[in-house]
Amino acid sequence: MTSQAFTERDVGDFFDQTLQTYLSFWDSDGVLHTGYFADETDDDYRAASARTSEILAADAAIDGSSWVLDVGCGCGNFLIELAQRFRCGGVGLDLSIERIKFARTKLASRAGLAVEFQHGSATQMPFGDNNFSHVVSQDALCLVPDKPRTHAEVYRVLRPGGTFAFADFLQPTEQISRRARRHVYDRVRWNSGYSLVGYQSALAQAGFEIVLARNLGRHLRQTYRVLGATARDRAQTTPDPAARDWMLAFSESCEQIQIAIDDGEFGWGIIVARKPAARSASNPR
Ligand SMILES: C[S@@+](CC[C@H](N)C(=O)[O-])C[C@H]1O[C@@H](n2cnc3c(N)ncnc32)[C@H](O)[C@@H]1O
């Protein structure tokens, strides 16, 4: 099924090495996730990406009492937004040290937030058991080669009754064409993913109760349509030839990515799951 077996190291290196390029055309604040667009004419990626975060926060029912872990936090935007909006606290964890450094710099310019950023992997989290009220993530978990291990880690660090709410890329079908393999999967060092149904089964197997699952493929298509056009425009004014070539190649990939989405080889969704509440001795059911 996979043409290559990318390791965590491959993934971390990719997100370290591409930080500056992504900052130069995708989002200068370092946001790197799928947008939720108003309709098919909506071209405003910034607003759409902020909307995804708002939807996920609402689905997760984050409030001022929440203690949140953002897995694959990237440049830290989601957690900082949550802390500013709800006055909650939390930790962001990411495999890319360059992105963690960027997140820490951003945090330093915002006083009084109960937030920190740590370098590390979703498969070996540097946290104690039953620690967080919420674990959130945007477009990161699919990249982990050992997914069951991540699910076990999320389960371990969540408090009983805690919420696991995330957006992620989906692999809706087993068979992946060479085109999709090249432009969707290999491009970001992604081995394989779950279908929306398969994801829910995997989480249930890890002990979670499924709260909701949304299939949001059309927003994924719109994201790559809008960003492909942005990269093409930005390439015209980029003096560095290597950066220009990267943007043009990305823009070409965006055309192919939209075909892969239409062909059912690439998808995106939001899932909310819950770690069951602890059973009391008087009510062990
Ligand atoms: C597409 S970016 C999304 C970043 C961020 N969530 C956002 O919304 O902007 C995926 C992120 O997942 C991180 N990542 C991939 N594998 C990881 C792992 N095993 N543990 C922690 N982070 C990981 C990458 O380093 C990258 O920053």
**Residue 283 has what pLDDT?**
54
pLDDT at 282 over 80: no
Query: What's the DSSP call for residue 206?
Result: T
Q: Could you give the CA distance from residue 182 to residue 185 in angstroms, rounded to a whole number?
A: 6
How confident is the model over 172-184, as a mean pLDDT? Answer: 96
Question: How many angstroms is it from 167 CA to the middle of ligand 1?
Answer: 12
Q: What is the pTM of this model?
A: 0.95
Q: Could you give the CA distance from residue 204 to residue 262 in angstroms, rounded to a whole number?
A: 29
100 lines ligand 1 (CB under 6 A): no
122 lines ligand 1 (CB under 6 A): yes
Please identify, by atom number, the ligand 1 atom nearest to the C-alpha of residue 93. Answer: 21
Please identify, by atom number, the ligand 1 atom nearest to the C-alpha of residue 150. Answer: 19
pLDDT at 204 over 90: yes
**Residue 164 has what pLDDT?**
98
Convert the pLDDT of each residue in 225-263 to its tens digit. Answer: 999 999 999 999 989 998 899 999 999 999 999 999 999
**Residue 2 has what pLDDT?**
45
pLDDT at 1 over 50: no
How confident is the model over 207-223, as a mean pLDDT? Answer: 97
Sign of CA dihedral 64, 107, 92, 209: positive
User: Measured at the alpha carbon of residue 13, what is the angle toward residues 199 and 172, in degrees to the nearest 5?
Assistant: 20
208 lines ligand 1 (CB under 6 A): no
Question: How many angstroms is it from 282 CA to the middle of ligand 1?
Answer: 42
Convert the pLDDT of each residue in 27-62 to its tens digit. Answer: 999 999 999 999 989 999 999 999 999 999 999 999
35 lines ligand 1 (CB under 6 A): no
**Residue 77 has what pLDDT?**
98
Close Cβ partners of 38 (under 8 Å, ≥ 6 residues apart) = 48
Task: Give the neighbor-by-neighbor strand order of the sheet with 67-71.
Answer: 115-119, 89-94, 67-71, 132-138, 158-170, 267-274, 209-215
Phi, psi of 66 (to 5 degrees): -75, 145
**Around Cβ 44, how many Cβ atoms within 10 Å?**
13
Question: How many angstroms is it from 275 CA to the middle of ligand 1?
Answer: 23
**Residue 25 has what pLDDT?**
83
pLDDT at 200 over 90: yes
Instruction: Give the gyration radius of the chain's Cα atoms.
Output: 18
123 lines ligand 1 (CB under 6 A): yes
94 lines ligand 1 (CB under 6 A): yes
Please identify, by atom number, the ligand 1 atom nearest to the C-alpha of residue 188. Answer: 1
Give the chain's mean pLDDT. 95
Please identify, by atom number, the ligand 1 atom nearest to the C-alpha of residue 145. Answer: 19
Convert the pLDDT of each residue in 67-88 to its tens digit. Answer: 999 999 999 999 999 999 999 9
15 lines ligand 1 (CB under 6 A): yes
56 lines ligand 1 (CB under 6 A): no
Convert the pLDDT of each residue in 97-135 to its tens digit. Answer: 999 999 999 999 998 999 999 999 999 999 999 999 999
pLDDT at 157 over 90: yes
The residue ranking higher by pLDDT, 138 or 285, is 138
Domains of the chain: 8-274 (3.40.50.150)
Question: How many angstroms is it from 279 CA to the middle of ligand 1?
Answer: 34
Question: How many angstroms is it from 95 CA to the middle of ligand 1?
Answer: 7
74 lines ligand 1 (CB under 6 A): yes
